[in-house]
Amino acid sequence: MNENAVNSIQEQALDPKDFQIQGADTASAELFARKPVTYWRDAWRRFFENKLAVVALCLLIVITLCTIFVPIFSSHSISAHDLLNRKQWPSAQHWFGTDDLGRDLFVRVWAGGRVSIIIGVLGAAIVAVVGCIYGGIAAYFGGKVDMLMMRIVEILSSVPNLLVVIMMSVVLESSSIPTLLFAMTVTGWCPIARLVRSQMLQISRSEYVMAARLMGVSPLKIVVRHMIPNTFSVIIVAVTFRIPGLIFGEAFLSNVGLGVQPPNTSWGALSSAAQSSLLYYPYMMFFPALLIALTMLSFTLMGDGLRDALDPKLRR
């Protein structure tokens, strides 16, 4: 029985060609090899694979475009009183209704969005620039300079943020957008400065930077190739996550009466004005609150998407 089996196997001529894996020759292996990619292009691709982040980005673009163009092209003006049409519920004429002076809320909500988004985005940009410069200088010089600079940051961050903002608003006695921005970023850069410093120090002590130095790579190239990409990706995520906080901060300030003054408005000012008559005219609160929530959520989701895209460990 056994011998038969052995014989029958031997009888069938074994042809090495039968044992080749189809399509596994070197020529076609080259075809399957992944195209060379750079880090940034790869991150870009991963961001766009994240549906939620892309939806958030689109929503933000739509909201921003509306805040720019609705007030320009609408037939209503943001300050025109119409005392005959006060406190009207949403209708074909006034899509978001009218407020207690008869002003069209659709225009006012989008015009208010300008202030909120400008404060959010510009505030984040200021915080990022100041934080990068400050943190970068501290990390670069190190030693005593670093210690002094970081003590200052610690002191500044230990002061409650809102207290500073309120004091600033009161002292500066004006509630224009620049004042608000100044008040909200005056200590807001501290966490970014810390992040930049620690990230720079960590990278400059890393073994891959040591390897580059040992191979004679110039300091400038080390900064451009290692320090900036590795720091930038962390900062961009942190900064994106700060925008919702700034938008909310503006809303809060407007709520306690320190925000932009009428006839100019913002989402925070609109919802605070709607507060007194919330039970009878909830639509006045609904639209600005909805937009604050949507915008904050979108920035947060986009930050999530950026973080995932920029972290190569999550690359698939």
Partner 1 sequence: MSKQPLFEIKNLKRYFPAKGGKTVKAVDDVTFDIFPGETFSLVGESGCGKTTCGRTILGVYPKTSGSILYEGEETAKMSKAQLRQFRRRNQMIFQDPYSCLDPRMTIGTIIQEGMNVHFKRTPAQRNEKVTELLFKVGLTADFASRFPHELSGGQRQRIGIARALAMEPDFIVCDEPIAALDVSIQAQVINLMIDLQQEMGLTYLFISHDLSMVRHISDRIGVMYLGSLVELSPTAPLYEKPLHPYTQALFSAIPDVHRGKKEQRIHLQGEIPSPINPPSGCKFSSRCPYAQDRCHEEAPALRELEKDHFVTCHLAAQL
- Residue 216 Cβ vs partner 1, minimum distance, rounded to whole Å: 3
> CB-wise, 38 or 158, nearer to partner 1?
38
Spell out, one character per residue from 242 to 281, where the chain touches partner 1: x when CB under 8 A holds, - when not.
Answer: ----------------------------------------
Binding residue (CB under 8 A) for partner 1 from 74, 77, 179, 206: 206
- Residue 309 Cβ vs partner 1, minimum distance, rounded to whole Å: 12
> CB-wise, 89 or 208, nearer to partner 1?
208
Q: Which two tokens stand for residue 226?
A: 């290692």
Give the whole-angstrom CA distance, residue 42 versus residue 274. 46
- Residues between 7 and 46 that touch partner 1 (CB under 8 A): 29-30, 33-39
CB 98 within 8 A of CB 84: no
Residue 218: count other Cβ atoms within 10 Å of its Cβ: 10
SS3 309: helix
> CB-wise, 39 or 48, nearer to partner 1?
39
Binding residue (CB under 8 A) for partner 1 from 44, 77, 125, 225: 225
> CB-wise, 32 or 280, nearer to partner 1?
32
Give the whole-angstrom CA distance, residue 187 versus residue 223. 28
> CB-wise, 52 or 224, nearer to partner 1?
224
Residue 46: count other Cβ atoms within 10 Å of its Cβ: 20
174 dihedral zone (left: phi>0; alpha: psi -120 to 50; beta):
beta
- Residue 243 Cβ vs partner 1, minimum distance, rounded to whole Å: 24
CB 251 within 8 A of CB 268: yes
Which positions ≥6 away from 76 have C-beta within 8 Å?
Answer: 94, 103, 104, 106, 107
Binding site for partner 1 (CB under 8 A): 29-30, 33-39, 206-208, 210-218, 225-226, 229-230, 233, 312-313, 315
